[in-house]
Structure 1
Amino acid sequence: MTTTTVRGPAATLPSTLRIGLSRGAAEVRAYFRERDAVVFTFALPTLILVLLGYIFDEPLDGAPGTRVSQVFAAGMVAYGILSTAFISVGIGIAADREDGTLKRLRGTPATAGAYLIGKIVLVAVTTAGSVALMLATAVLLFGLDLPSDTGRWVTFGWLMALSVVACTLLGIAASTLARSARSAPAVMNLPVLALQFVSGIFVHITALPDAMLTVASWFPVKWMGQGFRSVFLPDSLAAQEVAGSWEHGRIALVLTAWCLLGLVLCLATFRWTDRRTR
């Protein structure tokens, strides 16, 4: 009698999404073990908010009941996202590339796409904590009112999602510009600091010259700040924006375009190894 063995289907590897989510959970656990990094990431945006808020804590011209500190607090949410998503991720990837962490990951089922998903998961978690701390500080110290209607929170939700994805992808792509982990902080901080000033985050938008506003309009930071101001400030303050309105449709289009551009740049420039080892 002949026995026929029926073989089952070949085992398949987990999907990129599943690997990415698993990688993201591991990234979050590793991140919160680094207590100094957690304190720095969460405290820096809030510290700058407190300093600017107290320096410019005066009534806003043409807006009874609103103070300049509240305008800064609303727009500074954009800086909190940039600090966590762009700077921290870019520096972290440069360090992982230099110490061989990425090279070791290449030998696992983790694809570049899964690695990107893992970083977005990490940034989503850490950004939520950083922004929550900033908003709590703004409410307690500067009297910022949180939205009471659902529509504004919906706007806040899609702004956060698009901003986190765009800044994370751009941070990953920009990490390739750093020749070493030592130079990464300078490489990542320079464009961020410049864009904070020309985009109306560290300086009130009405005080900026037209040339700076034109330059800022090509980058996501200006639109992020404008979007978050629309969430937390009275609608009457939309008249002080460049176009005289909040421009939610344009904000969504610009941030979506930067998400797509960031993805293209990541896929085109991402490297598993340090360029000096080639």
Structure 2
Amino acid sequence: MSRTSKVLSTGLLRARLELRVLVRNRSVLFSQLQLANVVMLVVLGKVIGDDPIGGSGQPQVTLFVAGFVALAVCQATILQFPLALATDREDGTLLRARGIPDGVATYLVGRVTVVLITVVVNVALVLVVAALVLRAPMPSTVGAWFTLLWVLALSTCAATLLGAAVGAMLPGARQGTGWVLLPLMGLMVISGTVIPFTLMPGVVQAVASVFPLRWMAQGVRSALYEPAYAAYEVAGSWQHAETAGVLLVWVVVGAVVAPRLIARTTRRETGSALEERRDEASRRVGI
């Protein structure tokens, strides 16, 4: 067996073990499945979902569905993944992995596999609930389903690499929620996930367009909406080429930056640093 095959097989075994533990821990499973977001989607859909967006005639529930699909990707990759990396760094998991041949690579394969499975399950959950409970429109053609798949594939790759880079830079899991959650919620508001992007001022649109969330949401909308609704987007079209281009840029940037940051973080992990963190944690709880 080649080195790469061994890393992949061992990483997948690690992912299977992590998923088994996850399924047995109901509180963590509830968080990972983002059931609170699904409940919020249903409430929004029931309260104002039938109201049309502007003069388009398109119900707002479709805007919510597209936004929550993008949120499902971002929450698993840019929020939960970095916090898991920070936690594993603090409790010594990364340090132990560094002491095993190809341990860090195996660890990352396992973590990323869990992230990808989480994304697939959460996106499917949002779409199924939206279709069955809210009667929201789904992709109506093979081309629309293909668009949804490539947008989600590129979005997940870009966001996972971004999440890995963020996780390597977080000072710790305790601070991580504030460092990541607040900017993510801000991006949600300005990226057209719950409020039409056309209502944002031009400067806000320019800022949001730098980040992948705006393009994720627009790409998902292009798969869910009728083709005529493209006229109500900012550019008057779905901008598929621009969507693919921006997401690919983030994939490339993430592929270059994330491995370097993770390598630097793992090199800095030492037994003395782990012991200092444990002492600090003990002082916080008064032990």
Shift of 1:23: 3.5
Which residue of structure 1 lines up, in the alignment, with residue 203 of structure 2? 211
Q: Structure 1 stretch 240-249 or stretch 224-233: which is displaced more?
A: 240-249
Which residue of structure 2 lines up, in the alignment, with residue 244 of structure 1? 236
Shift of 1:71: 1.6
Shift of 1:30: 3.4
> What TM-score do you get using the length of structure 1 for normalisation?
0.87
Contact 2:168-2:261 at 8 Å conserved across structures: yes
**1:277 maps to which of 254, 258, 273:** 273
Question: For 1:88-237, what aligned pairs fall within 5 Å after superposition?
Answer: 88-237=80-229
**Whole-Å separation in 2 of the counterparts to 1:56 and 1:240:** 20
Which residue of structure 1 lines up, in the alignment, with residue 54 of structure 2? 61
Deviation sequence 1:119-170 (CA, Å, 0-9, x none): 3211111111111111122123332122232111111111121111111111
Q: Secondary structure at the match of 2:210?
A: coil
Percent sequence identity is: 35
Q: Structure 1 stretch 110-119 or stretch 80-89: which is displaced more?
A: 110-119
Shift of 1:111: 4.9
Deviation sequence 1:54-110 (CA, Å, 0-9, x none): 45321223223x211222212321011111111111111110000001111112233
* Higher helix content, 1 or 2: 2
Q: Secondary structure at the match of 1:63?
A: coil
Which residue of structure 1 lines up, in the alignment, with residue 32 of structure 2? 41
Q: Structure 1 stretch 261-270 or stretch 22-31: which is displaced more?
A: 22-31
Deviation sequence 1:6-62 (CA, Å, 0-9, x none): xxxxx8645344444344333333333332122123213213323433453212232
Q: Structure 1 stretch 30-39 or stretch 267-276: which is displaced more?
A: 267-276
**Whole-Å separation in 2 of the counterparts to 1:144 and 1:83:** 22
Measured at CA, do residues 30 and 166 of structure 1 come closer, stay the same or move farther in structure 2, by a change above 3 Å? Answer: farther
Q: Show structure 1 runs of 4+ deviating over 6 A.
A: none
Q: Secondary structure at the match of 2:174?
A: coil
Contact 1:223-1:251 at 8 Å conserved across structures: yes
Contact 1:169-1:259 at 8 Å conserved across structures: yes
**Whole-Å separation in 1 of the counterparts to 2:243 and 2:10:** 32
Unaligned 5+ segments in structure 2 are: 275-287
**Whole-Å separation in 1 of the counterparts to 2:236 and 2:2:** 55
Query: What letter corresponds to residue 40 of structure 2 in structure 1?
Result: I
> What TM-score do you get using the length of structure 2 for normalisation?
0.85
Which residue of structure 2 lines up, in the alignment, with residue 82 of structure 1? 74
Contact 2:63-2:194 at 8 Å conserved across structures: no
Query: What letter corresponds to residue 79 of structure 2 in structure 1?
Result: I
Structure label with greater radius of gyration: 1
